[in-house]
Amino acid sequence: MKNTVRFLLLIAFLGFFLLPMVGNTPPATSIGTIAPQDMTSVADLDELTPWWNVNFHYRRMVNLTDSYSTPRIDAPMEVYILFENNTCYKDSIRVIDPNGVEIPSQPYNISYWEDADYIKGATVFWYANVSADSTATYWIYHSEDKTITATNYDAVVSFARTTGTLSGKFSPNYWSFLGNYYNVTMFNSAGGKITNGAHKMDDGSWNWNWGSSAGSMHWNPDGLAGQVTSSTAPITSRTFVNEEGPLFINYTTQLPFGSYAKLNVTYTFYKWGWTTRIYIVYTATVSGSGRTDEWVFYPYITTHSVEVAEDLTQTYYDNWVQSGNKGKPAGFGWWNDNGISHGTVRISHDSWNTNPGYTNNYDSYYYRWNDASAYEYWATAIPTIYAISGTVLEETCAFPVWNGAEGIDGYMRVFNATSRYTPLTTNIGAVSSYSFTISVTDIGNNAIEGANVSLLDAISGDLLYKSAGQPYSELTDFVGSVKFIGLQNKTYTISVWIDTTTWLNADPTATGMNVTWSGDYVAIGPFTPVDITLDLASIDIHLEDLMASNLATIGSETIQVRIYNASDANQANWRYMDYQTTDTNGDLTFTRIPKCDWIFNFSYSDTDTGHIYQWKDFAEYVSYEISDSDITDDLTRNWDLPLVTLDFNVKAY
């Protein structure tokens, strides 16, 4: 039993163990879960999938893609999300599967805003299923609504703390952890590590001979120069449960590692087994060999096995017997037809800041399952380590436990769900919600930038405010668009207005220059489209004289046109809304004039000849008009002015 079987668990944030380690910075020791994922990218927004529940006002899409022709069942999956203030009430997070069904989830690693009812950031965990060579879309929903109640999912893992006996065999047992097919306990005088365990059999009974009868299931790590942990007590007050389920439980024990190091052993318990992470930090210069991990199962009770290589090749053994032959497989599993099983999935094996005066051989480690006459064990042996203050060794493995009667399928299910060699690609979408995408155009269907758009209560007419206190009021962008998110599935009044004097040369006393619109719309999903047309139209005018010559502003000649709001029955109240001067071709454009009864007056001046026709003179003879009902689009007009020569007599004409 001195051949230590070492099994490590990497508890990492969002596929952390899959990222290459560069430089001299070791990973954080904070808790996490194994989640085999490639680096995350951003997915496009999905505006078509129906909303799961109208009481949850925000959602994010998470696409999980397999590229290894490998199906995933109960793969531990997690994403870290930052939430805007007052958008994620602490009890509101839900995960929805590709079929639109709520599934159990477990938020952890949670931070809060100043109002502790609202989450600022959280890692959301769930068990994911993905078919081979396909993409599965999950949704994370949340809401600002404080009336939403907390979830109460059935626990798939559980734990208890006890000082009594367990099955009359081991006493005392400090902690006990239970999953689908395992029940393991921690003995405090053995470092707070797993000391013994029971395996559920195919008939539903529990076999307490699965773990070592000597209470040494997780026998070591052992350190350099013979330091062992099988009989070392944890550091006082450094054994604790970090996360309590219902989907996974995280447990850590911290041990002294001789006088030169400290050791963290962290187990994360899942429905299908657990992972173990060994994290050793050296505080002095030291060298020697040892085992990073060691597990012992007693008595010798399994027969079949499978070895999975790094290229995912599977080698099956119907009756595997081996002693002393070691290797570096990606995974190894053993089982019996009556239900017993155990195995490992290699996840990580890393070192940092080793003694620069010596070759770092830590990556040359080897491990494999072995059998002996009375027990089976799994060991990770390492070459000589040359450590200095700040050297870090880290190793992580997953430990599957399944119904051995399933055979190889039970092991491969866990291998595929956890292996570093079959990562899922994860694409996370931006937050979406019941919302409006509002597009504002003029009558000619041209986008209007700078229009004021506000959201009002459909009953009271009051301006609405976001949960953080800002009003639902914005200016349209250069494509004439505004987006309002965080809404509910109900009717809102949308109000739009724009002041045309910001671009028109209007008489200061002119009326009708503010153009407004309002209407009621129902938010029916993410980015419900709303198309709004403001009563603004443009008109292109070409001016010629009676000889078909362009009336151009050129040289000493100036041709100007004024447009008036002639809607008032009292002509004395008419005021010009804009004026423009013809170009060298006799053309001019009025841009986005408020729709009304339009009257156009013209003026002409020639500084060389002294001929000047003022507005009041010219309007008596040549005034053109367009009624409100004729303005259904942008307009074009070709108009003739009664000018024949510069000396013509208007009245005689």
Q: Are 10 and 275 in contact (CB under 8 A)?
A: yes
| Of 538, 548, 543, residue with least CA distance to 558 | 543
Residues 506 and 567 in one domain: no
In angstroms, the CA 601 to CA 578 distance is: 11
- Let me know: does 156 contact 271? Beta carbons within 8 Å: yes
Nearest CA to 110 among 128, 88, 95? 88
Q: Is residue 526 part of a domain?
A: yes
- Please answer whether residues 484 and 53 qualify as being in contact, where contact means their C-beta atoms are separated by less than 8 angstroms: no
pLDDT band, residue 168 (cuts 50/70/90): very low
Same domain, 562 and 637: yes
Spatial CA neighbour of 381 closest among 174, 222, 503: 222
State the amino acid at position 492 in one-letter form. Y
- Nearest-angstrom CA–CA distance, 631 and 638: 16
Establish if 252 belongs to a structural domain. no
Structure tokens at 385: 């380590």
Whether residue 226 is predicted with pLDDT greater than 70 in this model: the reply is no
Instruction: Looking at the structure, tell me whether residues 593 and 626 fall in a common domain.
Output: yes
Q: Is residue 564 part of a domain?
A: yes
Distances (CA, A) of 521 to 437, 456, 463, 473, 487: 11, 11, 15, 16, 12
pLDDT digits (tens, 9 = 90+) for 494-510: 999 999 999 999 999 99
| 23 contact partners, CB below 8 Å, separation of at least 6 | none
Calpha distance 83→72 (Å, rounded): 29
> What confidence category does residue 618 fall into, taking pLDDT thresholds of 50, 70 and 90?
confident
Residues 524, 559, single domain; the answer is no
Q: Which one-letter DSSP state was computed for residue 49?
A: S
Residues 537-548: what's their mean pLDDT? 89
Copy the structure tokens of residue 183.
């029940």
HSE toward the beta carbon, residue 446, CA cutoff 13 A: 12
Residue where one domain finishes, among candidates 482, 511, 533: 533
Q: Which of 91-100, 159-168, 363-372, 583-592 has the lowest mean pLDDT?
A: 159-168
Poorest-confidence range of 8-12, 189-193, 467-471, 604-608? 8-12
- Average pLDDT of the residues in 384-397: 91
Within 10 angstroms of residue 419's Cβ, the number of other Cβ atoms is 24
Q: Give percent above pLDDT 70 in the chain.
A: 85
Q: Are residues 510 and 567 in the same domain?
A: no
Q: Which amino acid is at 605?
A: S
Q: For residues 450 and 482, state if they share a domain.
A: yes
pLDDT at 26: 59
- Location of structure tokens 């070592």: 212
Q: Say how many C-beta atoms besides its own lie within 10 A of residue 234's C-beta.
A: 24
- The number of folded domains in the chain is 2
Q: Which domain holds residue 472?
A: 433-533
Q: Report pTM.
A: 0.72
Cα dist. 199→155, 186, 372, 510 in Å? 19, 15, 20, 88
Domain annotation covers residue 390? no
Pair 522, 477 in one domain: yes
pLDDT in tens, 283-294: 999 888 877 888
Q: Is the pLDDT of residue 40 over 70?
A: no
The CA distance from 119 to 96, in Å, is: 19
**Per-residue confidence (pLDDT) for residue 378, from 0 to 100:** 81
Whether the per-residue pLDDT at 266 is higher than 70: the answer is yes
The answer on 570 and 590 residing in a single domain is yes
In 10 A of CB 38, how many CB atoms? 15
Residue 576 placed within a domain: yes
Boundary (domain end) residue, out of 533, 562, 588: 533
In-domain check, residue 167: no
Q: Would 619 be classed as within a structural domain?
A: yes
Under a CB-based contact definition with an 8 Å cutoff, are residues 347 and 417 in contact? no
Pick 174 or 360 by higher pLDDT.
360
Q: What is the dihedral of CA 483, 486, 487, 492, to 10 degrees?
A: -40
* Segment holding 417, helix H or strand E: helix 408-418
User: For 268-307, what is each residue's pLDDT tens digit?
Assistant: 999 999 999 999 999 999 888 877 888 887 756 678 999 9
Contacts of 547 (CB under 8 A, 6+ apart): 644
Residue 446 identity: N
Q: What is the phi/psi pair of residue 545, to 5°?
A: -90, -175
* pLDDT, mean of residues 480-497: 90
Q: Are residues 458 and 518 in the same domain?
A: yes
In the structure, what pLDDT confidence band is assigned to residue 164 with cuts at 50, 70 and 90?
low
CB atoms within 10 A of CB 116: 10
Q: Which of 533, 557, 589 is the last residue of a domain?
A: 533
Backbone angles phi, psi at 416, to 5 degrees: -65, -30
Contacting residues for 197 by C-beta, under 8 A, at least 6 apart: 182, 183, 184, 185, 210, 211, 217
> Residue 46: pLDDT band by 50, 70, 90 thresholds?
low
At 560, give phi and psi (nearest 5°): -125, 155
* Statement to judge: residues 608 and 524 lie in one domain: no
What does the pLDDT look like over 171-198, one tens digit per residue? Answer: 444 678 999 999 998 877 778 888 888 8
Mean pLDDT, all residues of the chain: 84
Q: What whole-number distance in Å separates Cα of residue 403 and Cα of residue 417?
A: 16
Cα gap 648→646, rounded to integer Å? 6
- In angstroms, the CA 578 to CA 592 distance is 10
pLDDT band at 653 (very low <50, low <70, confident <90, very high): very low
- Contact between 551 and 643 under an 8 Å Cβ cutoff? The reply is yes
Domain containing 526 — which CATH number? 2.60.40.10
Q: What ranges make up the beta strands (E) of 388-502? A: 392-400, 425-429, 432-441, 452-457, 473-475, 481-487, 491-499
pLDDT value of position 299 = 58
- Which conformational region is residue 191 in: left (phi greater than 0), alpha (psi within -120 to 50 degrees), or beta? left
Amino acid at the residue 120: K
Taking a C-beta distance cutoff of 8 angstroms, is the pair 567, 575 a contact?
Answer: no
Q: What is the CATH number of the domain that holds 619?
A: 2.60.40.1120
* 396 closest CA partner among 16, 70, 125: 16
Q: Are residues 450 and 495 in the same domain?
A: yes
Look at the alpha carbons of 643, 648, 651, 653 in this order and tell me if their dihedral is positive or negative.
negative
Direct distance between the N- and C-terminal alpha carbons of the chain, in angstroms, rounded to an integer: 122
Does residue 463 lie within any of the structural domains? yes
Sheet holding 175-178, edge to edge: 158-161, 175-178, 182-186, 194-200, 206-207
- Could you tell me if 543 and 637 lie in one domain? yes
